[in-house]
Amino acid sequence: MRIQTAAAANRTLACRRFYLYHTVCEVRLHLYGGDAEALLDSCEKTARQAQAMLNIYDPASELSRLNSGYTAGKPYRVSRPLFNLLHEIDAFSRACGGAFDITVGPAVRLWDFTARRPRVPDRTALRKTMERVGYEHIHYDTASETVTIDRQGMLLDAGGAGKGYAVGLVAALLRAAGVGSASVNFGGNLYALGSMQIAESAPRPWRVGIQRPWAERGEPVCSVYLDNRAVSTSGGYDRFFTQDNNVYHHILDPRTGWPVESDLLSVSVITPDALLSDLLSTAFFVLGPQHGAELVEKQPGQTPASYVLVRESGVTASRCLAGSIDPEPHHNAYRRDCIEQTS
């Protein structure tokens, strides 16, 4: 996903890049009256803390410690931020009929998409592994902030929500600090704060590029105009391998453990809440166009959630985006007054 962030690089007040979540993360400030570097320090720290809590590739993260340290049927105490996040994700899983399922971890581990040479797992092993998948096996107690997992060997994987969660935390921090205009972009998960400010001209909505699936990073397929909203994109092109001319990608059907078969190349979901847009884009990809659209459209709130779907046959978007979508992506090449952020 790309975002046109300001009229020219020298009008960006300050920018910070760091590598987290297997991706380049970027925070850009455009309108802020305080100490920009100190604020960017806080943003980076917040993002690192979120990763330190959720990264299951780090055995010391709080989520890894839960995964390896719980005993079936016994309450396990977690920190308040982790409890609240897991609880919110659980409510979402229920609302989408389990299309988003944080317990998909054992299947993700078996597929091992991050391996040097991933292979299709043995069918019997995968079927057996799926006995340890199912969000309904986790119970939450708000009073004691404990989770009870009723089967041994389960594995919570926040990969489908972690970046959106972190983007949301950073966006909230910027807003609380009084930032008037900023963008937060963590690899496919983005928040556009305030409006785009170009010198003395009137503020305009941000123009965010939606990544063209399977193309080079940073090449948009279309653009959307928005402000104070998050965009998250899920697609099979993001992490995959090929075997015997078949593509196997990282978004799994939690009922079978197999990569979801879909004619969708990518789904982007736009909502005011960055975590929700991350949850929705993954769930939409799993549910497919019809049920995915229904899920997005039934989201409560004053600002309707919307989506952009990319298929081989072209781009479609939810009706409420009409007027805010530009089918012609803009490139640096002919918009020299733009800088573009690439995820």
Binding site for Mg ion (CB under 5 A): 160, 278, 281-282
- CA atoms of 343 and 341, how far apart (whole Å): 7
User: What binding mask, one character per residue, do residues 154-193 give for ligand AMP by CB under 6 A, x or -?
Assistant: ---x-xx---------------------------------
Residue of 108, 138, 177, 275 interacting with ligand AMP (CB under 6 A): 108
Task: Tell me whether residue 43 or residue 166 sits nearer to Mg ion (CB atom).
Answer: 166
At a CB cut-off of 8 Å and minimum separation 6, what does 343 contact? 1, 2, 23, 24, 26, 185, 186, 187, 188, 189, 190, 211, 217, 218
Task: Tell me whether residue 4 or residue 281 sits nearer to Mg ion (CB atom).
Answer: 281
- CA atoms of 190 and 2, how far apart (whole Å): 9
Residue of 2, 207, 212, 250 interacting with ligand AMP (CB under 6 A): 250
137 is an interface residue for ligand AMP by CB under 6 A: no
Return the range that interacts with ligand AMP (CB under 6 A); candidates 2-10, 100-108, 215-223, 303-311: 100-108
Pick from Mg ion, ligand AMP, none: which does 194 bind, CB < 5 to 8 A by kind? none
Residue of 181, 185, 234, 343 interacting with ligand AMP (CB under 6 A): 234
Pick from Mg ion, ligand AMP, none: which does 104 bind, CB < 5 to 8 A by kind? ligand AMP
| Range 267-289 burial, b when 16+ CB lie within 10 A, else e | bbbbbbbbbbbbbbbbbbbbbbb
- CA atoms of 2 and 160, how far apart (whole Å): 20
Q: How many CA atoms lie within 13 A of 290 on its CB side?
A: 0
Q: How far is the CB of 91 from ligand AMP (least distance, A)?
A: 14
Q: C-alpha angle 105/109/115, rounded to 5°? A: 145
Tokens of 193: 């704060």
Return the range that interacts with ligand AMP (CB under 6 A); candidates 14-22, 120-128, 234-242, 330-338: 234-242
Residues in the chain: 343
- CA atoms of 160 and 184, how far apart (whole Å): 18
275 is an interface residue for ligand AMP by CB under 6 A: no
Pick from Mg ion, ligand AMP, none: which does 331 bind, CB < 5 to 8 A by kind? none
271 is an interface residue for ligand AMP by CB under 6 A: no
- Give the count of residues interacting with ligand AMP (CB under 6 A): 19
Which parts of this chain interact with ligand AMP (CB under 6 A)? 100-102, 104, 108, 157, 159-160, 234, 238-239, 250-252, 254, 278, 281-282, 286
